[in-house]
Structure 1
Amino acid sequence: METNILWSGREYFSLENCLIKSGNQGNLITSVIVGYYEEKIYKVDYRIETDAHWHTQVLEIHCFHDHHVFSNLLQADAHGSWTCNGMPVPELDGCIDVDIPVTPLTNTLPIRRLQLPHKETREINVVYCDVLARNIRRVAQQYTCLSDTAYHYQNVPNDFEATIQTDRSGFVVDYPELFVRKAVSIRSQQL
């Protein structure tokens, strides 16, 4: 299956064209984001590879912002150990998902992977890739399933929270104050 989504960023004043190719072996996500933040234009290209259960295996990301280039290749092995540009990053060990704050796509990764039952809450650790600040770190997040299409998200400790509306596939439709889906196109095609 191939899903193409166009998101508009509210806070990051952005437009994202994201392509998700899903098959029996996993998911390949490629995307381009252009935007304007803190009076500076930016562009982000990223590629995420997951297995069939939405465990992140690869994040390749390139960002041009404020005349700086931020480019990294993060890879996870089957034991939850991470490398960045080929070098081990032990502080990220145990993280399964990645979070890129300029896209709502990375909220889909834990939503699809966790498959939370109604009213269940789960705290997870993620690789937080803040491309505009040019840093990568481990952060804790919490997801609560409110319905088939609504999830409450919190940073831990709680300095930000929102109720995210998704479609039945777990792709963000409305992320209050941050993102809104403008268009979607779906077609059957194997990866």
Structure 2
Amino acid sequence: MKTLIWQGITYQSLEYFTLREHENYTVESKIIGCYQNQIYSVDYKLIIDKEWNILEFQIESEINTVKSKMAGRKLYDEWEINNVINEDFKNFKFIDISLTPFTNTLPVNNLQLPENTSRKIDVIYIDILNQHIKPVQQQYTRKNINEYLYENLQNDFKANVLVDQKGLVTYYPELFKKIAEL
């Protein structure tokens, strides 16, 4: 089991995160914060297989007292999200949840990139604050043992992300930093 706290720099947040390993990995996390006149809380739970493929997600959020829920599960090569199969996400292996650096761990650990190599991936992007979900393309380049260049290919956003030996983000410039760990 791994428990840690991430501080959201831009999103003025704290995340209490727990990763458990049994037959699969289970993540449970709580985030609270405020950003641009939005006070929010997020609880999410993820089920991940041993190759770091996301199998299921459940997200409950409250933004300025408005509550919402989102749930998804992978069915072979398709995704059922809120009880509807979404063809836009066929063959997608990864999700990216805004407000947390954890979902960067999924491609970091799954792709097993050698140093100085890159891979483009298709990702289900879940924008919590705007309550929006969409397909995006991202690219990860392993710069060295603990550093990856993350690129969002839709908007040219780039960041050099530092990770620990488990692939968990320790520092994501201007967005997140790990401030405590058990």
TM-score for the superposition, normalised by structure 2: 0.97
The corresponding residue for 1:59 is: 57
The corresponding residue for 2:5 is: 6
Q: Is the 8 A contact 1:7 1:15 kept in 2?
A: yes
Letter in 1 for 2:149: H
Give the one of 24, 41, 44 matched to 1:26. Answer: 24
Q: Is the 8 A contact 1:26 1:53 kept in 2?
A: no
C-alpha deviations, 1:135-176, integer Å up to 9, x for none? 111110000001110000000134210000010110000000
Residue 108 (structure 1) aligned with residue 108 (structure 2): no
Letter in 2 for 1:63: S
- The answer for unaligned runs of 5 or more in structure 2 is none
Shift of 1:104: 0.3
The corresponding residue for 2:172 is: 175
CA distance in 1, matches of 2:174, 2:81: 31
CA distance in 1, matches of 2:167, 2:156: 24
Letter in 1 for 2:61: C
Q: Is the 8 A contact 1:129 1:137 kept in 2?
A: yes
TM-score for the superposition, normalised by structure 1: 0.93
Shift of 1:38: 0.6
CA distance in 2, matches of 1:19, 1:39: 28
CA distance in 1, matches of 2:163, 2:24: 20
The corresponding residue for 1:118 is: 115
RMSD value, Cα: 0.9
CA distance in 2, matches of 1:89, 1:29: 24
Letter in 1 for 2:82: N
The count of corresponding residues between Structure 1 and Structure 2 is 182
Which aligned segments of 4 or more residues in structure 1 are displaced greater than 6 angstroms?
A: none
- The verdict on how the C-alpha distance between 1:157 and 1:7 changes in structure 2, with shifts beyond 3 A counting, is same
Using CA pairs under 8 Å that are at least 6 residues apart, name the structure with larger relative contact order, 1 or 2.
1
The corresponding residue for 1:188 is: none
Identity %: 34
Letter in 1 for 2:137: A
The corresponding residue for 1:162 is: 159
Letter in 1 for 2:65: H
Letter in 1 for 2:3: N
Q: Is the 8 A contact 2:30 2:43 kept in 1?
A: yes
Shift of 1:69: 2.0
Letter in 1 for 2:68: F
C-alpha deviations, 1:111-144, integer Å up to 9, x for none? 0111111111000011111010001111100000
Q: Is the 8 A contact 2:136 2:154 kept in 1?
A: no
C-alpha deviations, 1:4-30, integer Å up to 9, x for none? 01000001000000000023x220000
Secondary structure of residue in 1 paired with 2:104: helix
- The answer for unaligned runs of 5 or more in structure 1 is 186-191
Q: Is the 8 A contact 1:154 1:160 kept in 2?
A: yes
Residue 148 (structure 1) aligned with residue 135 (structure 2): no
CA distance in 2, matches of 1:109, 1:68: 29
